[in-house]
Structure 1
Amino acid sequence: MIAKGVGKPLLLSCIPLLVLFLLYLFAGLPIFLFFIFAIPPIFTLYFFRDPGRDVGEGIVSPADGKVQVLDEEENTIKIFMNIWDVHVNRMPLGGEVIEKEHHEGKHFPAFGEKAGENERQFYQIDTEKGNLKIWQISGMFARRIVPYIKKGEKVEKGEKIGMIRFGSKVKLKFSRDVDFHIEEGKRVKAGKTTLGVLHE
């Protein structure tokens, strides 16, 4: 499956791939040239992939990537997505979107300390177990955040909330204490990996 909201770049990537394939079949285009020129459109198709996921237990990861920061005192977790990760983000817990704001900003590397100054999309979610804040943060090459959800909308755990293009970060902050079941440096899958559970 291909990620929602990327129709134009996807179409632009498929056209040259189709032309190259036809040239290979009918005009004798050398196979090595076919592969050289086919790499960019194939990469675009790969980047915009959106695989299905079985939703995990507890608080699930909002993103594919590596846990960069885990702050148990602040109940905060940051997940860095490199360029090879799936960039569709998912809801960690079900609830209602009570706030949604887009902030213009810089484009520092998403793994750096200044990433908090980057362009970002903010959501505040009212869940049955407390308040949840989510930031989708762009990176050096990620120039667009594509949100899928709206203020006032009710969303399910594991539901797709949007995507960030080409390297980025997602930050979560919980209003209640969390028993984290994950460590810094561990890789996680959006909607599938259990990050932890909220204290009762």
Structure 2
Amino acid sequence: MEATRNRHMSLLDTAALVLARPHRAGLPFIVAPALAGFALGLVWHGFLWLGLLGAAFSAFFFRDPDRAVPLRPGLILAPADGRVVSIAAAVPPAELGLGPEPRTRVATFLSVLDVHVNRAPAAARVRRIAYRPGAFLNAALDKASEENERNAIALELADGRTLAVVQIAGLIARRIVCEVREGQSLRAGERIGLIRFGSRVDLYLPEGVAPLVAVGQRMVAGETVVADLLSTEPARIAETI
């Protein structure tokens, strides 16, 4: 009985995720193919189904589900859904002015099947936003952090420490949406923007802070704890079994 109830709950959770309301940035991508399908469907009914299929995919891609955000002070949360593809020491983008010292960078790759709405990793003030045009390499590649189009956001915590979230365009992405402004105060887990159609998000932790996630791990924006400023636990490692 318990297993059956858990299975039903899992199916309900999956349905809620798939049918979540779309982000407003996706509305043109939903409405346009639907209208085109109806118009061209007068010529050939196959166009109607193609238009509806395109609208359905866009609604799925731009879905924006609510998240249960843990609020304990000191927690650093995942800014994006997806898979951790790299954890390495790296210097934050120079345009943010965070200094030349390397920090731990947690890179998350988002496939077209992931939720693409990005969220604030902690309660913080937006210290600086810097957009830089660039290439559109495969976002899973490490060099995408340096060469791809990106929008970098420096955040200042209440204790003065800083971290950074970098939205990086992917192989087919051509539009980064940033919904915050410099000087704005953010809540942990608050929506900060999205990247259209495949992308990557890099999180630069405060200096000396170890990550509590590992390469290959799945992330849930606004829910997965990436690091804990109050913890002395060493960086984690993982094994695929």
Q: Distance in 1 between matches of 2:61 and 2:128?
A: 29
Uncovered stretches (5+) of structure 1, i.e. residues with no partner:
24-28
- Match for residue 24 of structure 2? 4
> Does the alignment pair 1:67 with 2:84?
yes
Which residue identity is paired with 2:55?
P
Shift of 1:38: 2.8
Secondary structure at 1:42 match in 2: helix
> Does the alignment pair 1:42 with 2:17?
no
Task: Indicate which of 106, 120, 133 corresponds to 2:135.
Answer: 106
- Match for residue 119 of structure 2? 90
Q: Distance in 1 between matches of 2:126 and 2:143?
A: 27
Task: Indicate which of 209, 213, 216 corresponds to 1:185.
Answer: 216
* 1:176/1:199 contact within 8 Å kept: no
Secondary structure at 1:179 match in 2: coil
Which residue identity is paired with 2:215?
E
* 2:162/2:206 contact within 8 Å kept: yes
Q: Distance in 1 between matches of 2:79 and 2:132?
A: 20
Q: Encode CA deviations 1:6-49: one digit per residue, 9 max, x unaligned.
A: 332232133246x38x98xxxxx6xx886555322211111111
Task: Indicate which of 131, 153, 168 corresponds to 1:137.
Answer: 168
Shift of 1:94: 1.0
The worse-fitting range, judged by mean Cα deviation, of 63-72 and 33-42 is 33-42
The worse-fitting range, judged by mean Cα deviation, of 70-79 and 119-128 is 70-79
Report the RMSD for the aligned CA atoms in angstroms: 2.4
Task: Indicate which of 132, 153, 157 corresponds to 1:123.
Answer: 153
Secondary structure at 2:207 match in 1: coil
Q: Distance in 2 between matches of 1:3 and 1:148?
A: 12
Higher strand share: 1
Q: Which has the higher contact order (CA 8 A, sep 6+)?
A: 1
Q: Distance in 2 between matches of 1:90 and 1:180?
A: 18
Q: Encode CA deviations 1:56-105: one digit per residue, 9 max, x unaligned.
A: 35211000000111237832100000111010000001111110011011
* 1:62/1:170 contact within 8 Å kept: yes
Uncovered stretches (5+) of structure 2, i.e. residues with no partner:
1-20, 90-101, 232-241
- Match for residue 26 of structure 1? none
Secondary structure at 1:39 match in 2: helix
Q: Distance in 2 between matches of 1:39 and 1:149?
A: 32
Q: Distance in 2 between matches of 1:198 and 1:176?
A: 10
